[in-house]
Chains A and B, each alone.
Chain A
Amino acid sequence: MPSPQPVSAPVNTAGADPFVRIEAVTKRFGSFTAVDDVSLSIYKGEIFGLLGGSGCGKTTLLRMLAGFEDPTSGRIWLDGQDMTGVPPYERPVNMMFQSYALFPHMTVEKNVAYGLKHERMTDAQRKDRVREMLDLVQLTQFAHRKPHQISGGQRQRVALARALARAPKLLLLDEPLAALDKKLREHTQFELMNIQSQTGVTFVVVTHDQEEAMTLSDRIAVMDKGQVRQIGTPNDVYEYPNSRFVAGFIGSITTFEATVRKIEGQNAILDVPAMGGVKIGRSVPGLTEGEKVTLALRPEKIRLGRERPDDPNSFSGVVSGLGYLGKDSLYRIALPDGQIVTVNSVNARRVGEDERVADWEDQVWLSFDPTSAILLRN
C-alpha cells in the first residue's frame, strides 16, 4: 500500500482474509508504465471502486484481473490462488465491458446463455439459469431480440446478466454506466447495488465519475498516473483525503498555503496569510511547529454571512462572482490578497433575485468549523 495512509481501516472487512490480492503489480507497454507498483486487497462481497482520470490505468488493471493482459511484474491472487499465467477462459472472473461487447449475431437469450455453454449442466438447468438471469435484470420479454433491437439501458442489463450467468466469484465492471444518460445512470446505480446484494458477488467497478464511485462503492481506490493514491471508504476519501490530488479529484477544494504555529494535542493553530490565525480540529500525526502545510476547504463547508460571526475561523472578502444552480448557489469570494474562495450555499428556501445572502461587490464574512478543514502535508 502507498505509504501515507492515515485513514484506511476497511470498514466491513476487518479481520477477513482478502479475496483478491494484488501484489506490487506493474504493467508496461514498451517504455510507458500504465500501472505502476499497485498493491491492494479486495474483500469478499464488497463493491470496490476504481476511480481515476482518463488514462490512469484503470482499464489496464481490470484487464489484468480478467487475464487479458499479463502483469510485467507482480502477482494477482484470487481466492488464495495465484492467477499468473491462467488464461481468461479458466478464471472464475467475468467482465462487463465498457462497450458491453454483446454478440450482435445472437439474441439476448443466446448472449446470456453463451457462457453457460462451457459449464457442465443439463439443457434444462441451462434454460432455468438464463430465465433466472433475465428475470433478475427484468428483460424476459426481450429474450428473442437481437442487441441492435433494444435500447442502451437494456443492452447494459444484458451485459450484466451475461456476466453474472456463470456465477463468477468476481465481477469486473468497466465504466458500466458511462453510456447511459444522467437520469438512467442514477436509477441504474441503485439497481446495480441491489443486484450485487442479491447475488453476493464481489464487484470491482471502474469509473471516472466520482459521484458514481461514491454512491456505488463500499471502498474506493483513487488512481493517478498508474499509481493508487488512496484507498478508503467514500467517507474517508472525501472527508480525509491524504493528498492534494485526492482532495482535488473528489469534490472541489480551495487551498491555502499555511504555516504551523502551535500544536495543542489534537488541535493545531495555523498561520494563513489571507485569514490570520486558524484553528484546526483534527491534525495529522507527526506535524511539527513551523512546518509549511496546505489548508484545504470544501465549498459546502464554508458559511457565508453579512455579519462577522462568532467563530474563531472567520475572514472576509468581496463577492466577485455568483452562480445560481437551483438547489444551491455558488459564490466566488475574492480575499484581500487576491485569492478566490469558492463557497457553496444551499438554497433551503425559495430565494428571489433580490433576497440573496449576498450580491456582487458585497463585503461578506466567511467562517468554517475547526473540524471541517482538511490539513495536507506538503
Chain B
Amino acid sequence: MNRRPIFLITVLCFGFAFFYIPILSMIVYSFNASRLATVWGGFSTKWYATLFSNKQVISAAILSLQIALLSATCATILGTMAGIALARFKKFRGRVLFSGLITAPLIMPEVITGISSLMLFILMAQWIGWPASRGFTTVTIAHITFSMTFVATIVSSRLIAADQAIEEAAMDLGSKPWQVMKDITLPIISPAILSGWLLAFTISLDDVVITNFTTGPGNTTLPLLIWSKVKLGVTPDINALATIIVCIVGLGVIIAGIVMNRAEKRRDADIRLAYRANE
C-alpha cells in the first residue's frame, strides 16, 4: 500500500524549480561579459573585479556587519530575558501589555515600524537632545527592538516545550531560583538562543525598510546601497554581489545541515543500540 505520491512529488519538483531558477539565472548572469545585464555576451569575471574595487560596497558591507553583530547580540540578551519572563513568570503586573509588545512588532507592517521609529527618534532628539543625529545608533536600536521579539518568541516556545520538572528538581536540590536559571534553564535553551541570534543577525543584515527610515546621511548599509542601485534597474555587478552572498549563505547552511544530520544519525544509532541492549 505504499504508493508513491506522484502528484505531490511533481509539485515539489516544480516548486523547487520556482525557488531556484531565478537564483541560478542570477548567478549565471554574474559571469556575463555584456554590460546589458539580461543579454548573454560571453563569459567574464570582470564584474567581480569591479565589485571588489568599489570602496562604497566594501564600507557598506562592513557597516552592515557591525550593525548586525551588535544588534543581534543585544537583541539576543533582551529577547532571552523577555522569553524567560513570558514562559516562566506566570504573573506579574502588566503581563498582558508585555506579551502584546512582544507579538505586535512581528505582525506590524515594516513601513509603520519604520516611520514610527523615525518619528520617535526625531522627537526624542527634540525633547531630550538624544540621539543627536541619526545613523549607526538609531539603526542599531531599531534593529534590536524589532529582532528581540523574534528571539523572545523562539526562546519562550522552547521553554514552554521543555520539561519544567528539571528546574523544580534543581530547586529541590537547594539552588536559588536565579541559580537554577543560570545552571539549568540557560543551558536548556542555549540552542534556541543560538538560533535566535542567527535569526536576529540575518534580519538585521537583510533589513531595508526600517533601516531606510532610521538611518541618516553617510550611513549606508549594504541593503540600502543595493536598494539604491536596484531602483535604477538591473546591473551586472549586483549579480556578482548576489552570487557572493548566495554562496556564503549556501555554504553556511549546508555546513550547518551536515553537522545537524550527523548529530541526528548518531542519535538514531544510539537509540538503536539502546534497543538492542534491551532485547
A binding-site residues for B, Cβ under 8 Å: 67-70, 87-88
Closest to A63 in B: B1
Alpha-carbon separation in the docked complex, A87 to B2 (Å): 10
List the 8 closest pairs (A to B, CB-CB), nearest first. Answer: A68-B1, A67-B1, A70-B1, A87-B1, A88-B1, A69-B1, A70-B2, A69-B2
Count residues on chain B whose CB falls below 8 Å from chain A CBs. Answer: 2
B1: chain A residues at CB < 8 Å are 67-70, 87-88
A67: chain B residues at CB < 8 Å are 1
Closest to B278 in A: A54
Closest to A68 in B: B1
A69: chain B residues at CB < 8 Å are 1-2
Alpha-carbon separation in the docked complex, A262 to B27 (Å): 90
Residues of chain B from 1 to 60 with CB closer than 8 A to chain A in the complex: 1-2
- B 86-125 to A, binary, CB cutoff 8 A, 1 in contact else 0: 0000000000000000000000000000000000000000
- Interface SS majority for chain B: loop
Alpha-carbon separation in the docked complex, A226 to B160 (Å): 41
Alpha-carbon separation in the docked complex, A68 to B2 (Å): 8
Closest to A53 in B: B279
Closest to B1 in A: A68
Alpha-carbon separation in the docked complex, A67 to B2 (Å): 10
Alpha-carbon separation in the docked complex, A87 to B1 (Å): 7
Alpha-carbon separation in the docked complex, A69 to B3 (Å): 10
Closest to B3 in A: A87
Alpha-carbon separation in the docked complex, A88 to B3 (Å): 12
Alpha-carbon separation in the docked complex, A306 to B201 (Å): 82
A68: chain B residues at CB < 8 Å are 1
Alpha-carbon separation in the docked complex, A126 to B1 (Å): 29
Alpha-carbon separation in the docked complex, A57 to B75 (Å): 52
Chain A min CB distance to B272 (Å): 11
B2: chain A residues at CB < 8 Å are 69-70
Alpha-carbon separation in the docked complex, A67 to B1 (Å): 7
Alpha-carbon separation in the docked complex, A69 to B2 (Å): 7
Chain B min CB distance to A158 (Å): 25
Closest to B279 in A: A55
Alpha-carbon separation in the docked complex, A67 to B3 (Å): 12
Alpha-carbon separation in the docked complex, A34 to B37 (Å): 60
**A-B pairs with beta carbons under 8 Å apart, 8 shown:** A67-B1, A68-B1, A69-B1, A69-B2, A70-B1, A70-B2, A87-B1, A88-B1
Chain A min CB distance to B1 (Å): 5
A87: chain B residues at CB < 8 Å are 1
Closest to A225 in B: B279
Alpha-carbon separation in the docked complex, A69 to B1 (Å): 5
Can you name 6 extra interface pairs (CB under 8 A) apart from A69-B1, A70-B2? A67-B1, A68-B1, A69-B2, A70-B1, A87-B1, A88-B1
Alpha-carbon separation in the docked complex, A173 to B2 (Å): 22
Chain B min CB distance to A78 (Å): 15
A70: chain B residues at CB < 8 Å are 1-2
Closest to A69 in B: B1
Alpha-carbon separation in the docked complex, A70 to B1 (Å): 6
Chain B min CB distance to A190 (Å): 34
Chain A min CB distance to B2 (Å): 8
Chain B min CB distance to A62 (Å): 13
Chain B min CB distance to A16 (Å): 30
Closest to A70 in B: B1
Chain A min CB distance to B264 (Å): 18
Chain B min CB distance to A33 (Å): 15
Alpha-carbon separation in the docked complex, A70 to B2 (Å): 8
- B 157-196 to A, binary, CB cutoff 8 A, 1 in contact else 0: 0000000000000000000000000000000000000000
Chain A min CB distance to B57 (Å): 52
A88: chain B residues at CB < 8 Å are 1
Chain B min CB distance to A107 (Å): 29
Alpha-carbon separation in the docked complex, A218 to B1 (Å): 31
Closest to B275 in A: A55
Closest to A86 in B: B1
Chain B min CB distance to A105 (Å): 22
Chain B min CB distance to A111 (Å): 22
Chain B min CB distance to A335 (Å): 30
- B 123-151 to A, binary, CB cutoff 8 A, 1 in contact else 0: 00000000000000000000000000000
Chain A min CB distance to B230 (Å): 47
Alpha-carbon separation in the docked complex, A221 to B2 (Å): 28
Alpha-carbon separation in the docked complex, A285 to B1 (Å): 45
- B 199-239 to A, binary, CB cutoff 8 A, 1 in contact else 0: 00000000000000000000000000000000000000000
Alpha-carbon separation in the docked complex, A274 to B2 (Å): 56
Chain B min CB distance to A298 (Å): 26
Chain B min CB distance to A343 (Å): 30
Chain B min CB distance to A234 (Å): 27
Chain A min CB distance to B6 (Å): 16
Alpha-carbon separation in the docked complex, A289 to B1 (Å): 53
Chain B min CB distance to A210 (Å): 19
Alpha-carbon separation in the docked complex, A88 to B2 (Å): 11
Chain B min CB distance to A94 (Å): 15
Alpha-carbon separation in the docked complex, A371 to B1 (Å): 50
Alpha-carbon separation in the docked complex, A335 to B147 (Å): 75
Alpha-carbon separation in the docked complex, A68 to B3 (Å): 10
Chain A min CB distance to B48 (Å): 48
Alpha-carbon separation in the docked complex, A254 to B2 (Å): 46
Alpha-carbon separation in the docked complex, A212 to B1 (Å): 31
Alpha-carbon separation in the docked complex, A87 to B3 (Å): 10
Chain B min CB distance to A221 (Å): 21
Chain A min CB distance to B271 (Å): 14
